[in-house]
Amino acid sequence: MILMSIKNQFNTYAKDYDKHNIIQKIIAKSLLKDVINEPKNILELGCGSGQIFKNISWNLSSYEGVDLAPNMCELHPREKNINISCFDFDSKKFKEHFKNSHYDAIISSSALQWSKDLDSLLAFLATLSRYFYACAFTSNTFKKIQDITMQKSPILSKDELKKSFSKYFKVSFEEHSYNLHFENKKEMFRYIKKSGVNAKSKLDFTSAKHLYENYKQDFLEFEVLFIKGKSKSKIFI
C-alpha cells in the first residue's frame, strides 16, 4: 500500500532525517520569505521535524502541525500553544478533525507532492484559511534516475499541482531547480534512501545495481514549485 510505504519510510529514518533533508531546509526557509502579515494562527501540513516552525521569526498565538509519521511528530519542537497531530491529510479523519477550524495562513513545505487526491484536499483547505503558502517537489526531481530506471516519478508533476491549486485559489507560481552535489556515489545513494524525497519508489536488486552502475552525475537534481494562494471560497468573499 503506497500510503504505508511513505509512512514507514519516514518512521524508519526519522532520527536521521535532519542530517539528510538539505534541500528541504533550503526551500522551507525560502517559502517563509513569501509569507505576508506575520500570521499568528497557522496550520502546517507535513510539519516533520519542524523546519518551518524553527524558522518562523515572529510571535505566534497558536500553531497546528500535522504529519503522517509518528516518529517525525515526536521530533517536532514543543512549546506553549503548539499542537502536533499525526494524520494522513488526505483522510476523512483529518477533515473531520479540522472542519470547524480557521487559520490566518496554511503552510506546507515538501509534503503536498504525496497527496493521493489533491483536488479534494485543496477544496477543503480553501475553507479553512484565506491564505495558503506551499512548496512541493515535482516529478522532474531525480529526473536522471527516472531515465535510467525507466520508472515514472511517484510524485505529482508541476502541471498537476498548478491545475489543482488554480481551481481553489488565486495563485502565483515560481519554479526553482536545485542540484545537490556529493563527494561520491555511495553518499549520494545513502541520501536518496534516507531523505524521504523518493519514499514511494522501490527498486529490486537488479534495477538498483543497474542504476548504481549507470548513474554518472555527481549530483541529484530537484525541481520545486513555490505556490502563493488566496482562497476562492465564498467564506472569504
CA torsion, ordered 162, 165, 168, 170, to nearest 10 deg: -70
Q: What is this structure's pTM?
A: 0.86
Grid coordinates representing 62?
Answer: 497558536
Cβ-based neighbours of 16, under 8 Å, separated by 6 or more = 194
pLDDT number for residue 197: 55
The CA distance from 25 to 21, in Å, is 6
pLDDT number for residue 162: 97
What CATH number is given for 2-140+153-181+222-232 in this structure?
Answer: 3.40.50.150
Q: For residue 194, give the DSSP letter.
A: H
Q: Residue 5's pLDDT band (boundaries 50, 70, 90)?
A: very low
135 three-state secondary structure: strand
Q: Residue 10's pLDDT band (boundaries 50, 70, 90)?
A: very low
The CA distance from 224 to 112, in Å, is 11
178 three-state secondary structure: strand
Render pLDDT for 137-148 as a digit per residue (tens, 0 to 9). 999 999 999 999
Grid coordinates representing 173?
Answer: 507560481
pLDDT number for residue 195: 62
The CA distance from 126 to 121, in Å, is 9
Grid coordinates representing 215?
Answer: 548513474
The CA distance from 210 to 231, in Å, is 46
Cβ-based neighbours of 163, under 8 Å, separated by 6 or more = none
pLDDT number for residue 68: 85
Query: Looking at the predicted structure, is the pLDDT value of residue 136 above 80?
Result: yes
β-pair partners for 103: 129
The CA distance from 39 to 105, in Å, is 6
133 residue type, one letter:
Y
Render pLDDT for 174-187 as a digit per residue (tens, 0 to 9). 999 999 999 998 88
